[in-house]
Structure 1
Amino acid sequence: MSVAKTRNAPVRVRFAPSPTGHLHIGSVRTAIFNWVFARRHAGTYVVRIEDTDLERSKKEYVDSISNSLKWLQLESDEPVVFQRDRSEVHVAAAKMLMKKGLAYPCFCDKAASGKPEEIGKKYDKVCCKKIYTEEDLQKPHCVRFKLPEDITEVAFKDLIRGEVKVALGQLDDFVIVRRDGSPTYNFVVVLDDIEMEISHVIRGEDHISNTPKQILIYRALGKMIPEFVHLPLILGPTGSRLSKRDGAVSVTEYRDQGFLPEALFNYLVRLGWAHGDVEMISREELVRIFNFDDVNKKGAMFDQKKLDWLNGVYIREATIARVIDAMTDVEPDGMKELREKWDDEALAALVEMYRSRASRVTEIVSGILNLARGPEDLNLSLIEKWRSDKTGPMLNDFYEFLANHETNDAKALLEAAKGVAVAHGAKLVGLAQPLRLAITGGVCSPGIFEIMLFLDESELLARVKALKTQLF
């Protein structure tokens, strides 16, 4: 059966997540490709919530998916469609197929029996030729789609993989309505895609086995078959499908860990799609050049280090206001504390310094909070490699300098520290790192003499004295 055809209808695509969990980044990439393709062809991108799994679907996940799409600016162009709202239409369509002899009731459903020896076997069509009455239909039964007898294969053109053929002998008279009266996935997605006038079905390659069945349903309903695009899977470090054991996998986790939505968007669209060596790409440029010819057929390996690097680039190139907004979204309590300690100008200056080495906005918040709060305990092992019998005396001399001089000039502080180090025959790092520990509680921070300026004199002296006291 050939499905070669041309379409003159406007491009309409849909992203159809199931609200059985938070939005997975693999699903996000599917949403991105749908969104970009729609924009590339001046089409329409619609979100459909596939909530027919009554047991697992939850409102909290609907809200989570909605918030994640909003965060990524992937909101639906039209009102969101909820699949459950169309259940009556789905059941009516099944009855219509039964009336036409294209589907039939099955009273011996092997899946319902649950017998291990039955599961996995092809259905023997024992109910296909049975004559049933209205009274029979009152008994528990499922509804099976009747495979056509006038074809031997189902073929379709995938816009990434080319022509795909599946022998009809590999298929079964598959269930379209379960015994509990609920329609199955393969049936309802076709009905809803028809109703929504979807022109292109863009989804993960894990759905490719569903496509022949769905094409048969389109054919039975006498409807135009959409174009199909099956995206390669996102793989974890071991080469298997990315999963929870590989680390964060949901949008909410990446948002909470301090990733910018524009960075995550950029990274995911480049995961399996390439256009030269360009790593960073704007949405506008992406829409202009996007083509499925540039999508790889093989699965794409998820690289957390590369995402961290890219997020860091976005953090450094963003406006300070944008970074502060992102910090506030992720750490509202921490940012409230920082705003109580410093005014907007000082906080902006600190963000500018701390973002230079950050790969996540949460690192900026935690770094500045460490400066604001000071160390609770001084872990001297952190400065072991720089510590010597000169450390205590150098700290004592620098403390005396701070106590007797103005501390509003970073260059003057640096020169004073250099002078102390030279006087003791030591390197500057031998004083700078202990000072960094005393002031921030760690040994990694922006320039220590620059960030000293953000503490008042008494606070600065108290922190240096605490370390000096512990060393003597």
Structure 2
Amino acid sequence: MTQTPVVTRFAPSPTGYLHVGGARTALFNWLFARGRGGKFLLRIEDTDRARSTPEATAAILKGLEWLGLDWDGEPVSQFAGKDRHAEVAHKMLENGTAYRCFSTTDELAAWREANPRQPFISPWRDAADLPDAPFAIRLKAPRSGETVIEDQVQGTVRVANDQLDDMVLLRSDGTPTYMLAVVVDDHDMGVTHVIRGDDHLTNTARQIQIYDAMGWDCPVFAHIPLIHGEDGKKLSKRHGAVGLHEFAALGYPPAAMRNYLARLGWSHGDDELFDDAQALEWFGLEGIGRAPARLDFKKLEHVSGHHLGAMPDEAALAALQHYLAETGAPALTDTQRGRILAAMPALKDKARTLPALLDQARFAMIDRPVQPDDKAARALDTVSRGMLKSLTAAVQNASWSRDDLEEAAQKVASENGVGLGKIAGPLRAALAGTSTTPSVFDMMTALGREETLARLQDQTDLAG
């Protein structure tokens, strides 16, 4: 017997930015499908015409692309399928699993005010004499027994049918409701696994009733825990970044975000740091817990630093250039790229984000004459400039290997009766203009002989 290929979907509403929780849901769906040779589909749930915008759709697509999640086929517009949704509602009328409801908005409001805790059952449910008037189509839901959700994360969830109302499938103006549209779309798209936030769990019993009414097989459901802030409360702007675009702007590499988001609510033993190949091999619904995950920025920085350090130097340079382009900064020149690439192993060693990498690379991006900041300038007094002059002479004919440069600096320091740190400070100021930099010898090798000597000469000339 051939096993049905896995098909998952991510179905965001284009009413705003892509929330980090939505990005995590998309990632789980992507990992589950791709790890099993299946398909990952994208559906834009744009039935709320008043709030859905093309800009939000574009932002969602851009966010998924930045995160590195590719989808199969073209994104599906839920609104575009409204005729198909209406067709299914009318089929349910024909097979007796739905009925026409002529109750007006005022009548519904009056009933709910009088019966605030009871599910609404329309007086038209079993009516035979129907008027010639506008009507909504309601599901003729079972009134006894229970609807059972066999959820892969939450376990068995039972809902008494007498606690559910006969929900509207098609409004009186002919527009489908969200509940109907979701079920029809998932069925028509061949979705085998619905992996979504557990805030949708309450909808699932109603959606199962639609599947049953149409005689369709239900997909496998897996409702994943939501993401909370570090204080255990629902994630909101007060916790800092919550939109995926904000994490991109903070300079976390996409590979790090994939690793970190995968670990929010899912685990594989004690593994914290892993690459895409490992995530695709390991990811499964059985590893998802029920408790809300907590966003921890310190842990994210740790993961980010690991992935930045593991990047090939060329890839790290490409990521840095992309980050600069996204922030509107000038593109790197060929000279700057060459210097940064030469220093990349040292730059990656201390940086945990792309902005931090950029700070470390500042020495490679500035032009002569270097203008030291206030703190760095304090290291450039007459004595220290004299040592720099001696160092300039000592390294004129050095091989320009890191070891030879360090040996020359150590010799100059000893001749002046000071430790290496006393010459490193002014050397750092002369080369980078700041006190926070990579190793001075890494900077010298990256800048090369000519540029290094020129920067040192600029400062020693001030010694008189």
Q: Shared topology, TM-score over 0.5?
A: yes
1:155-174 map, 5 Å: 155-174=148-167
Residue number in structure 1 paired with 2:458: 462
Is residue 45 of structure 2 the alignment partner of residue 50 of structure 1?
Answer: yes
Which of 306, 330, 339 aligns to 2:333? It is 339
Q: In 2, distance between residues paired with 1:93 and 1:117?
A: 32
Specify the alignment match of 2:381 in structure 1. 392
Moved more, 354-363 or 206-215: 354-363
| Correspondence for 2:348 | 355
- Is residue 443 of structure 1 aligned with residue 440 of structure 2? no
What pairs with 1:222-237 in structure 2 (closer than 5 Å)? 222-237=215-230
Q: Contact 1:144–1:177 at 8 Å: present in 2 too?
A: yes
Give 1:325's match in structure 2, choosing from 318, 322, 333: 318
In structure 2, what is the Cα distance between the partners aligned to 1:114 and 1:320? Answer: 68
Q: Is the 8 A contact 2:8 2:40 kept in 1?
A: yes
2:100 corresponds to which of 100, 104, 107: 104
Verify the 8 A CA contact 1:110 1:118 in the aligned structure 2. Answer: no
Distance 1:278 1:113 in 2: 54
Counterparts in 2 of 1:15 and 1:119: CA distance versus 1, 3 Å:
farther
Q: Does 1:310 align with 2:303?
A: yes
1:12 to 4, 7, 11: 7
> What do the CA deviations read for 1:138-160 (whole angstroms, capped 9, x no partner)?
xxx654433322x3321121112
Decide whether aligned partners of structure 1 residues 220 and 463 sit closer, same or farther in structure 2, where only a CA change above 3 A counts. farther
Q: State the Cα deviation string for residues 149-182 of structure 1 (Å, max 9, x = none).
A: 2x33211211122211112233223333446543
C-alpha deviation, 1:302, in angstroms: 1.7
* Map 1:279-290 → 2, pairs under 5 A: 279-290=272-283
State percent identity of aligned pairs.
32
Partner Cα separation in structure 2 for residue 463 and residue 350 of structure 1 = 23
Runs of 4+ in structure 1 over 6 Å off: none
**Which residue of 175, 181, 206 maps to 2:199?**
206
Cα distance in structure 1, aligned partners of 2:365 and 2:191: 54
Root-mean-square deviation (CA), in Å? 3.4
| CA distances 1:181-233 after superposition (whole Å, capped 9, x unpaired) | 43222111001111112222111111101101101111122211221111111
Offset of residue 363 of structure 1 = 2.1
**1:433 equivalent in alignment to 2:425:** yes
Q: 1:424 to 1:254 in 2, by over 3 A?
A: same
Question: Does the CA contact (< 8 Å) of 2:309 and 2:348 recur in 1?
Answer: yes
Output the CA distance in 2 between the equivalents of 1:203 and 1:358: 34
The 1:443–1:136 alpha-carbon spacing in structure 2 relative to 1, beyond 3 Å, is same
CA spacing shift, 1:203–1:438, aligned 2, 3 Å: same
The structure 2 residue matched to 1:269, chosen from 238, 262, 279, is 262
Contact in 1 for aligned 2:360/2:436 (Cα 8 Å): no
Whole-angstrom CA distance in 2 between matches of 1:376 and 1:131: 89
Work out whether residues 386 and 460 of structure 2, in 8 Å CA contact, stay in contact via their aligned partners in 1. Answer: no
Q: 1:310 to 1:13 in 2, by over 3 A?
A: same
1:337/1:145 CA distance change after superposition, 3 Å: closer
**1:367 and 2:360 correspond:** yes
| Aligned position for 1:136 | 133
Deviations 1:321-345 (A, max 9, x none): 111111111113888654243463x
- For structure 1, list consecutive stretches of 5 or more residues without a partner in the other structure: 1-5
Matched to 1:136, the amino acid is A
- Cα distance, 1:132 vs structure 2: 7.0
Q: Which amino acid aligns with 1:459?
A: R
Preserved CA contact (<8 Å) 1:45 1:76: yes
Is the CA contact 2:98–2:137 (under 8 Å) kept in the aligned structure 1? no
Partner of 2:140: 146
Verify the 8 A CA contact 1:232 1:272 in the aligned structure 2. yes
Q: Is the 8 A contact 2:389 2:456 kept in 1?
A: no
The answer on whether the counterparts of 1:109 and 1:142 sit within 8 Å (CA) in structure 2 is no
Q: State how far apart, in whole Å, the 1-side matches of 2:114 and 2:405 are.
A: 80
How far apart, CA to CA, are the structure 2 residues paired with 1:163 and 1:286? 27
| Corresponding residue for residue 121 of structure 2 | 125
The equivalent position to 1:90 in structure 2, one of 85, 89, 92, is 85
Q: 2:235 aligns with which of 230, 242, 247?
A: 242
**What are the ranges of 5 or more consecutive residues in structure 2 without an aligned counterpart?**
none
Contact 2:336 2:364 in 1 (8 A): no
The residue that corresponds to 2:74 in the other structure is 79
User: Residues 294-339 of structure 1: CA distance to partner in whole angstroms, max 9, x if unpaired?
Assistant: 2111112122122211121112112111111111111138886542
Shift of 1:92: 2.7
CA distance in structure 2 between the aligned counterparts of 1:271 and 1:18, rounded to whole angstroms: 22
